[in-house]
Structure 1
Amino acid sequence: MRPLAPTLALTVALLVTAGPSAADVPPPPPTAVTLAPGGIPPSQQEANGYDFTAGGEALSTVATQDVAPGLELTNFQRLEDTGWNRGNVLTADLSEPTLSMDVRNTGKVAGIGTLSSQMAGTGAVAGINAGFYDINASGAPVGLAKSRDGLQNARFGSDPTLSMAGARAAIGELTSGGTVTVDGTEHDLAGFNTPSLPAGGIGVYTQAWGDYTLDRPVGGPGNVSPEVARASVVDGVVTAVDDEAGAPAVPDGGQVLLAREAGAEIVGSLEVGDRVDVAVGLDEDADWAVSGNVQLVVDGQVGPGIGDDGVHSRTAVGLNRDGTKLIALALDGQTAASRGMTRGELARFMLSLGAYQALNLDGGGSTTMAARVAGDVSPRIVDTPSDGSEREVSNSLLFFSSAEPTGVATGAQVRPATNRAGAYRVLQGQRRTLFGSGLDAAYAAVEQPGRFRTQDPDVRIVDTDHDRATAVGRRTGSADVVYTADRHRATMPLTVLGPLDRLAVDRSQLAIEQPGEAATIQITGYDADGRPAPIEPTEVTVDADAGVEVTRDGANGFVVRPTMESGAAVIDFTVGDHHVTSTVLVGSEQHTLADFTDGASWKVETARATATVVPVSGGGHDGGDALRLRHDFTTSTGTRGVYAVPPAGLTVPGSPLSLSLWVKGDASGIWPRIQIRSGDGTVSNLDGDLVTWEGWQQVTYPIPPGTAMPIRVDKIRFLETRPDVSYRGDLTISDLVANVAPDAPPTQTEPVHDPVILTEGTVDERPQRIAVMSDGQFVARNPDSDLVRHVRETLREIVAARPDHLIIDGDLVDEASPADIALAKRILDEEVGDQVPYTYVPGNHEVMGGPISNFKAVFGPTHTAFRLGATQVITLNSSSGTLHGNDDGKAQLTELESQLTAAAADPAVTGVVIAMHHPIDDPLPDKASQLSDRIEARQLEDRLGRFRTSSGKSVAVINGHVGVFHGSSAQGVSMLVNGNSGKNPAGTVTGGGFRGWTMVGIDPSAGVVGSDPGPGARLRWLRAETRPAVDTVSIGAPESLAAGSAVTLEATFAQGTATVPVAWPVTADWGGDGVVVGERGHGVVRLDPVTRKLTALRPGTATVTLVVNGVKSEQTVTVRR
């Protein structure tokens, strides 16, 4: 080891004041990949050279944006073997001379602040949290930190460290050390501004330490060493000596020597006037340095002995082999959208990103990343901190750009003024506000008057004003909008969708607990193909009940502020002929979930600990009953926990805003959490503040907005995550309460009747036909049941219709026993045989009472792919309720992506049909029958939409499971739900609740629709007709009508004891003598098959006929003058 370089410039990092904001700049549209496509321009949907699917990951989405010269931000989300992960990567080219880095803190070593606050005023363009710190006490870093202004703190010895000297960075063991010389004798120092001194150690503290008591380094607060000495030193001369640590009181320009045990004898022997020499430093030159706890990657290999501390959010840094490229990662964790990683997984991930060396920094709730992306003026948090907001941390690693000139335009930008996802789309006839400005050399926005224009007829530019303009979508297609400022030019893509077909609100029910609070609402429009685009507030008419005030929020949406103390109000948003409503709930009521009078029936569970839970009569905060939890956290250094478990889950009524629990604390710093199961089945935790108090205090557990209701409380949890803390704890809890929003009438949503299901007509003339049946759910112990009879009748109808293929879309059997599977095979052999080729797709009932191996032994693979002429058919296994929770994990999803890639490239394929049992979205209000992993659902929808856009080829999804017939569209993809073919339906007769099957008709020649398909293109390729099981059909019409009059026909069919209206999604065939169906032709009467409106045209007699799945009814109508 080289001699330690003396460092006496012991100062805090200087803060550089940024210049004034150069432009009134709206925040850019997000790069959050869960919101793609359309949220960011296509040019930014790139991976920056990273391969986020190198390990077989599926449904990956990625986007990259410039931050400054030499610095780029890439965010991603992907499905791994263990679940979803989402993160952000800063990639720094260290050879870029205008890019620099530094380690910064709050201005005090023993002080904490958010990453945003540490960046404020420094001019930094990006940053991440850095070192581990004394989280529950001083807040000082526990390792090494050196800024460009000098050493900030160190625990002397060797630490795995990221450092930089010149234009190269290094990761490896870096040794820090120091000495104090007294009367010619050198004594080793144990640390510099460190929060913990070892027994017998001597430390040196400067004013940079801050105000936190020096009792902490010598064992405080609870175990201060009895042998302590301190000496104040100025200019190498002792000015004071004391035998207590206490307040820092560091003299100006001086230091404090603090020591314990053997070190205290040395420091305690000093006298005022004695000379001492202090030297501290590093064994290698470094402009700056910050330590982590584990080197994840060493020389291109996973580091040895990295250990496992569980699954968490992660902050890590990596370097390429020559140290000229730095990779900084902030990985989200502890949420459904992002699981996090273990250290081993993190090491392998850093390797996959190209790291030759990599270091683990402070993760968990500390993980935070911020960046000022190109075209913005200030940094913004780009990750999702697992605490729900930024945690205050000890220090940070910041990135700076010195590119010149600053504040002077060297380029230009143009983008939407709204920061909503989908901002680069606009519906035909709707408006998109645009923003343009200059960009300086560091890519920051600067004010630069310019001109907006486009040469594409699909878009018209209106209302230009300084740095803003409005683009109006004129017709479906793509256009480039150009902004020219001085000599600088920028181009923005804008996609025009079809006309507005329906509206949606992001929050149909909005809960505001306190009257003084405010909340936002955003409106989205959809075209007839289910493609979304933000609706700007200027396009919306608002009608709000008394009690709330609604104002515009720029180009993004609306701000809602209650003017009443409590109650409910309805807001109606209207655009043209379309409207949508949102209910605002103000205030809350308290509902007691547990008063612990049943405390004896509560049980205890533990993790790496022992514990007891006992009832305490009269021991509550107000004299009521309580539970006492005593736990031993001394037997492990891993995450430990004690959980109080109720005898049954506690269902929370209504729409709770938060839960509250009284906790009698022991000041241990334990972490209180409540485990809940939300209405969609997701298990998650609500977090409270660390228990740093003694005595009674009420803990509030906020419930995140968007949590599916109702929720159920499963466990009251207390956890210890600090490996260096060991103790026996004693807590008492009482009165678990839910703060519930007031009741309000449900809002009405207009049903969407997608024309992918024919209301009138047939698909018989289409070149390709696929029959679909599902949900028989019979059992072998009752082989002659009505369910079996219904399935046999359905199969006979299908065979008689002679389709090209039959898809059995899951749940043919009920309990999946070998006997059930054998009966299914026998029925198919007897009713279908080789008359129609078929594919059996497993549903949840194919594993309900037996393993999937029972199915595979008879019917083969659970997911398949085959060609049907020019149509690629892909079947998927959703038997677990997800596409990645089955016997082969995410393999079928990676295969799906490969098949889509191949289909896009194959000129012989014009379209893709995907069949799986569970739909992406359940059309019924309870949403109980859709893919249970909602991240998977949205990513799959996104992937299929991007396939259609990028390949120009059609795609559709066919499902079962729900128990109703339904059709919809999303991102231009038709979605069909087949109803039950055997068991009774789940929905109402007016909502598709009838038995039957579906015939899908495809015209392969219409499958290639191009990158900008107009409305209706998907229907020319694929439509479907429902084939209900029909006993009789009836028409209700008057015997005579006066010419020019009109009447709405009553049309129904009987199915057992049910009477079903002949209306969407029932497919019927209307006709007859003297009857004109639709708008064209001449006859006695005209019939609109959608509305069933019958108009008398001229005198005469007409016979109206109605056929539903081969069953016919007639009605004679006489038209008189």
Structure 2
Amino acid sequence: MEIPGQPLRVRLKLKSDVFVPSGLTYAGFWDAEGTSIGVYGTGLQPSDEWQYATFTIPSTAVFPIRFNSFQGINTAVDQQVPGRFVIGGLEADVPSQIDLPPQEPLRADPLVSADGRPQPGADWSFATLSDVQFTAASPDLTQVAVAALHRIRAEEPDLVVLNGDIVDRGLPEDLALARQTLEEGGCDLVAVGAEPDDDPDTVPCYYVPGNHESYGVGNTQSTLDAWEAEFGRPYRTFDHKGTRFILLNSALGSLRGSDWDQLPMLEEALATAAEDDAVSNVMVFAHHPVDDPAETKSSQLGDRMEVQLVERLLADFRSGSNKGAAMVGSHAQITNVQRQEGVQYVVHPSSGKAPYGTPDRGGFTGWVEWNVDRDGSGAQQWLNANVRAFAQQVVVEAPETVEAGHAVTVGGHVVQPSGVLPGSRVVPLAYPMSVRWSGDDGLAVGSGEQAVRRARDQGKVAILDPVTRQLTGLRTGEVTLEVTADSMRPYTGDESLAPVTGRTTVRVVAAAGPGARVDADAPVFTAVAADAAVRPVTLTNTGDRPLTVSGLTVTADAFAVADARACTAAPVAPGASCDVAVRFTPPAAGGRTSADLVVESNAPGGAVEVPLTGAEAAPEAAPAQG
């Protein structure tokens, strides 16, 4: 049912046989871009009278929206009874239609790798996957779990954390299918207190339950009894290569409500980790995040006093030990990073189910590869997240040309599948996705002045900064830009793991417009072995402004600038020339030698590289005797 205009609130007229607490009525909508939006609303009382459940529409929705579903939820087991809802109509508070101002762009957190590369000093890696949400009655998404696990194993992580909602329901047949599916994907499901197998064809997997693992008959929330019968105790700690993992159970919406004993376990695990020299950092996992990045705040730990306790425990650990601390949640399905008192709080992307958020603000499917530097302190970059989005198509967008010395912004998007089937979700190649940029031999990828200098020294045509997505032309020529993303096809063998790649070509042209210009011939030097030849390299200012030469260097030891005063002592007038004396000494090995004379000046386009070629000449023959 389409709702016209831009509604602030939607009210559903209902009769209800059952009690639904405030915050647990749920309405589903589709927005104009096809994004699924779930909103929690006001409660209901059992009554034969008409009443209203009211839902506030998030400002991120793209209008118009369409209403598609309603649920009433009660997580208190003793209050769950059969009942029915009678829907009598739908009302909306619709203001005058206005164009919303554009949202501020997301601020990139350095935890997320811009180009998918690990941070310097990383020692080992692990992976995370969550929110696949298949059932025995609807098993199609098992293909996502199997394919994703095979892709993960190809990266050779030390272990995998499955952060909840792997299934959409927790009946025994669903959980038996979960074990079968995960093991088919190569998981060694490690029981509490057990050690991983040494099988090289599997990866250790640690399963954290989510709320859907507690759903029973009629898809109503029940207990984790069936999950525990299949997988064991739902909370634990273990250490691996200097990292203490603390896995928590939030299946019923809070930690204390799900398993009280895990809170003392959390406190003790942090206290002993702070004192243990073998522990360098801690990673805490729970399916529900401490904070939902959506405005509705409906997909987070429900007990906010409990959240304050968890945040205080982690902050005290971080400040008292100077060790790294991070906590990862899922459930909200909006990829996000926040920091509080030095602790990183991450919301994981959905891996199978359609995400709640908009694609440009973290609403996409994928998995995360984590890289850990066990020697990094809490104040350093000890953790790095390679956020890997699934794709059926990659499109790279860039201008056809860029002037040397100038920069342009490049971008593009991936089109994501729906499970393993073709989909239509369009996600920009931007944070919080890690974008794996590459290209041909003429392209350098890197950030900062050192990366630019290194690219110049290597004779690159252009350099791409993966953080800012700025492509800077260095010298005339042509470069190919590529982006590679993980495919999501049904797993049929290693060939089905082939990534998806998009590419485009950019020409770097000479700078146009007013200013000084440098033009020079490409001289060839000849010299007898062990001797040196000096010859001038003539620089001509072909521009319409004075040329100021600020630096002259060569890129090979066989050449040297012998005298630069004629070009550096004073500006060179338009149309005038100056000579740089360059010395060539043949190397002992002989043969031809190539290098560049690098001219730093005020000319648009930055440094100019003049090719130099040197060759060893044969010595003159001695005069004949007679």
Q: TM-score, normalised by structure 2?
A: 0.58
**Residue 992 (str. 1) matches residue 362 (str. 2):** yes
In structure 2, the partner of 1:1117 is 506
Higher helix share: 2
Distance 1:922 1:644, change over 3 A: closer
Aligned partners of 1:809 and 1:841 also within 8 Å: yes
In structure 2, the partner of 1:243 is none
- Amino acid in structure 1 at the alignment position of 2:49: P
**Residue 1004 (str. 1) matches residue 374 (str. 2):** yes
2:256 paired residue among 884, 899, 917: 884
Name the CA distance, whole Å, in 2 between partners of 1:832 and 1:878. Answer: 26
Name the CA distance, whole Å, in 1 between partners of 2:500 and 2:153. Answer: 17
- Amino acid in structure 2 at the alignment position of 1:774: S
- Amino acid in structure 1 at the alignment position of 2:475: R
Deviation at 1:593?
A: 13
In structure 2, the partner of 1:751 is 106
Name the CA distance, whole Å, in 2 between partners of 1:593 and 1:1071. Answer: 51
Aligned partner of residue 647 in structure 1, secondary structure: strand
Structure 1: unaligned runs, 5 residues or longer:
1-591, 606-642, 656-679, 684-740
Aligned partners of 2:411 and 2:430 also within 8 Å: no
Name the CA distance, whole Å, in 2 between partners of 1:752 and 1:882. Answer: 29
In structure 2, the partner of 1:846 is 213
In structure 2, the partner of 1:1054 is 415
Q: What is the 5 A alignment of 1:57-456?
A: none
- Amino acid in structure 1 at the alignment position of 2:443: V
Aligned partners of 2:187 and 2:205 also within 8 Å: no
In structure 1, the partner of 2:228 is 856
Deviation at 1:775?
A: 0.4
In structure 1, the partner of 2:328 is 958
Aligned partners of 1:816 and 1:854 also within 8 Å: yes
Distance 1:829 1:967, change over 3 A: same
Aligned partners of 2:170 and 2:215 also within 8 Å: yes
- Amino acid in structure 1 at the alignment position of 2:147: E
Distance 1:1052 1:771, change over 3 A: same
Deviation at 1:1117?
A: 1.9
Aligned partner of residue 837 in structure 1, secondary structure: strand
Name the CA distance, whole Å, in 2 between partners of 1:1098 and 1:847. Answer: 61
In structure 1, the partner of 2:483 is 1106
Deviation at 1:1047?
A: 2.2
Aligned partner of residue 395 in structure 2, secondary structure: strand
Aligned partner of residue 181 in structure 2, secondary structure: helix
In structure 1, the partner of 2:135 is 779
**Residue 1043 (str. 1) matches residue 404 (str. 2):** yes
Q: What is the 5 A alignment of 1:484-563?
A: none
Aligned partner of residue 1029 in structure 1, secondary structure: strand
In structure 1, the partner of 2:242 is 870
Aligned partners of 1:964 and 1:992 also within 8 Å: yes
Aligned partner of residue 1106 in structure 1, secondary structure: strand
- Amino acid in structure 2 at the alignment position of 1:812: I
- Amino acid in structure 1 at the alignment position of 2:251: S
In structure 2, the partner of 1:830 is 184
In structure 2, the partner of 1:1024 is 385
* Count of aligned positions: 395
In structure 2, the partner of 1:792 is 146
Name the CA distance, whole Å, in 1 between partners of 2:97 and 2:442. Answer: 54
Higher strand share: 1
Deviation at 1:1037?
A: 2.1
Q: What is the 5 A alignment of 1:22-41?
A: none
Aligned partners of 1:756 and 1:968 also within 8 Å: no
Aligned partners of 2:146 and 2:184 also within 8 Å: no
Name the CA distance, whole Å, in 2 between partners of 1:997 and 1:851. Answer: 27
Name the CA distance, whole Å, in 2 between partners of 1:970 and 1:1105. Answer: 36
In structure 2, the partner of 1:804 is 158
Q: Deviation string for 1:301-326 (max 9, x for gaps)? A: xxxxxxxxxxxxxxxxxxxxxxxxxx
Structure 2: unaligned runs, 5 residues or longer:
1-10, 20-44, 58-72, 77-94, 189-201, 217-221, 417-422, 487-498, 511-626
Name the CA distance, whole Å, in 2 between partners of 1:1002 and 1:936. Answer: 28
In structure 2, the partner of 1:1090 is 467
Distance 1:918 1:602, change over 3 A: closer
Q: What is the 5 A alignment of 1:624-773?
A: 647=49, 649-651=51-53, 751-763=106-118, 766-773=122-129
Deviation at 1:1108?
A: 2.7
Name the CA distance, whole Å, in 1 between partners of 2:117 and 2:320. Answer: 31
Name the CA distance, whole Å, in 1 between partners of 2:502 and 2:54. Answer: 52
Deviation at 1:602?
A: 12
Higher relative contact order (CA 8 A, sep 6+): 2
- Amino acid in structure 1 at the alignment position of 2:125: R
Name the CA distance, whole Å, in 2 between partners of 1:799 and 1:828. Answer: 12
Aligned partners of 2:280 and 2:324 also within 8 Å: yes
- Amino acid in structure 1 at the alignment position of 2:470: K
In structure 2, the partner of 1:1064 is 431
Distance 1:942 1:751, change over 3 A: farther
Name the CA distance, whole Å, in 2 between partners of 1:961 and 1:654. Answer: 20
In structure 1, the partner of 2:79 is none
Aligned partners of 1:1067 and 1:1108 also within 8 Å: no
Distance 1:750 1:1049, change over 3 A: closer
Name the CA distance, whole Å, in 1 between partners of 2:100 and 2:502. Answer: 39
Aligned partner of residue 484 in structure 2, secondary structure: strand
Q: Deviation string for 1:1079-1100 (max 9, x for gaps)? A: 3232222222123222222212
Distance 1:746 1:904, change over 3 A: farther
Q: Deviation string for 1:742-778 (max 9, x for gaps)? A: 9999896663332211121323972121100000110
Name the CA distance, whole Å, in 1 between partners of 2:307 and 2:50. Answer: 31
2:308 paired residue among 935, 938, 962: 938
Name the CA distance, whole Å, in 2 between partners of 1:891 and 1:789. Answer: 36
- Amino acid in structure 2 at the alignment position of 1:1068: V
Q: Deviation string for 1:210-235 (max 9, x for gaps)? A: xxxxxxxxxxxxxxxxxxxxxxxxxx
- Amino acid in structure 1 at the alignment position of 2:132: G
Aligned partner of residue 49 in structure 2, secondary structure: coil
Aligned partner of residue 985 in structure 1, secondary structure: coil
Deviation at 1:836?
A: 0.6
Distance 1:745 1:1028, change over 3 A: closer
Q: Deviation string for 1:862-895 (max 9, x for gaps)? A: 0010011211001000001111111x3x211111
In structure 2, the partner of 1:1074 is 442
Distance 1:1097 1:985, change over 3 A: same
Deviation at 1:1074?
A: 2.0
- Amino acid in structure 2 at the alignment position of 1:846: E
Name the CA distance, whole Å, in 1 between partners of 2:124 and 2:263. Answer: 26
Name the CA distance, whole Å, in 1 between partners of 2:116 and 2:129. Answer: 20
In structure 2, the partner of 1:815 is 169
Name the CA distance, whole Å, in 2 between partners of 1:644 and 1:841. Answer: 35
Q: Deviation string for 1:323-354 (max 9, x for gaps)? A: xxxxxxxxxxxxxxxxxxxxxxxxxxxxxxxx
Distance 1:647 1:769, change over 3 A: farther
**C-alpha RMSD of the superposition:** 3.4
Aligned partner of residue 146 in structure 2, secondary structure: helix
Name the CA distance, whole Å, in 1 between partners of 2:176 and 2:75. Answer: 35
Distance 1:593 1:864, change over 3 A: closer
Aligned partners of 2:106 and 2:431 also within 8 Å: no
Distance 1:991 1:1043, change over 3 A: same
**Sequence identity (%):** 36
Aligned partner of residue 757 in structure 1, secondary structure: coil
Name the CA distance, whole Å, in 1 between partners of 2:56 and 2:213. Answer: 35
- Amino acid in structure 2 at the alignment position of 1:838: C
Name the CA distance, whole Å, in 1 between partners of 2:236 and 2:360. Answer: 35
Aligned partner of residue 209 in structure 2, secondary structure: coil
Q: Deviation string for 1:793-852 (max 9, x for gaps)? A: 111111211111100000000110000000000011221144111110000000022530
Deviation at 1:1004?
A: 0.8
